[in-house]
Amino acid sequence: MTQKVIPLFSCSNVHVSTEDKDIVKGVDLTIKAGEIHALMGPNGSGKSTFATGLMGDPSMKLTGKISINGAEVQDLPAYERAKAGIFLGFQYPVAIPGVTVAAFLRASLTELRGEAASVFEFRKELKEAFENLDIPWKFADRYLNDGFSGGEKKRLEILQMVMMEPKFIILDEIDSGLDVDALKTVAKGIESAASKGAGVLMVTHYQRLLDLAVPCRVHYFMDGKIAFSDDVASVKNLEEHGYEWLRSKFNDSKDNDEKSYIKEAAV
């Protein structure tokens, strides 16, 4: 008897819309434990809306199913989805003046773990994570993202990811703003999380991240949908020919679908 394997993450027929606009128009995706996937696509195609929709953005309407290890989470608020193991590293992390990095992380970890670590234990854990990610320790007592440079904000997103130990990680343009050294450190963090069994979806525009944290699958997003998926070697076409390559490929596959439909209909 074959046993059905439940994937770490799956979503089906996901639509995300504002009051007057459909932005994400039917996405199906499955990511297994330990897999890294990439999501690429032109500006404005809906990648961030898909990412924030998965995390539970309350300003958007989402329909469809989202499961973590087989448990459906689409009706849960964002903080419950976080408890279920979803993490989103934002494209544009927001500043929270008045809340220090250390206080924010302690409160988040207490919620996620269901118990407060001792101040001593927590500071030790935090210090270790700061050192591993080459973030100066003085940042712990600065207000969250307040006055941080673009690259510093992105490092801090990864610091949160490392400390929260999520099951399913979505990183929205984590590579934008990072210098070469930080990019390597971040890629190491991503690979390490995947090697411990997390599933990862990285939204990016550039090959350079994919050379360091190598995805097993690349999904190309166009007009609110995954137009098609391929292996990482396909990204070189994008680097060479831009999204025109994707548009022509998409039209080809649409033509083929139509042709095969016509063929099937004729049988």
Answer for the pair 223, 45: CB distance below 8 angstroms, yes or no. yes
Q: Does 18 bind ligand ATP (CB under 6 A)?
A: yes
204 binds Mg ion (CB under 5 A): no
Report the 10 Å Cβ neighbour count for 16: 24
> Could you tell me the smallest distance in angstroms from the CB atom of residue 112 to Mg ion?
25
Residue 204 binds what, of Mg ion, ligand ATP, none (CB under 5 to 8 Å, by partner type)? none
Q: Point out the residue whose Cβ comes nearest to Mg ion.
A: 48
Binding residue for ligand ATP (CB under 6 A) from 46, 85, 189, 199? 46
Question: Per rule CB under 6 A, is residue 49 in the interface with ligand ATP?
Answer: yes
DSSP 67-101: EETTEE-TTS-HHHHHHTTEEEE-SSPPPEEEEEH
The residues near 183 (Cβ < 8 Å, ≥ 6 apart) are 175, 208, 209, 212
Out of 6, 44, 63, 181, name the contact with ligand ATP by CB under 6 A. Answer: 44
Indicate the residue among 105 and 157 with the shorter CB distance to ligand ATP.
157
DSSP helix, strand, coil percent of the chain (3-state; round to 5): 45, 25, 30
Q: What phi and psi values does residue 26 have, to the nearest 5 degrees?
A: 105, 85
Instruction: Draw the binding track, 81-100, toward Mg ion (x: CB under 5 A; -: no contact).
Output: ----------x---------
104 by Cβ neighbours in 10 Å (0-12 / 13-18 / 19+) ranks as: middle
Q: Draw the binding track, 159-198, toward Mg ion (x: CB under 5 A; -: no contact).
A: ----------------------------------------
Q: Residue numbers of the site for ligand ATP (CB under 6 A)? A: 18, 21, 23, 41, 43-49, 91
Q: Residue numbers of the site for Mg ion (CB under 5 A)? A: 47-48, 91
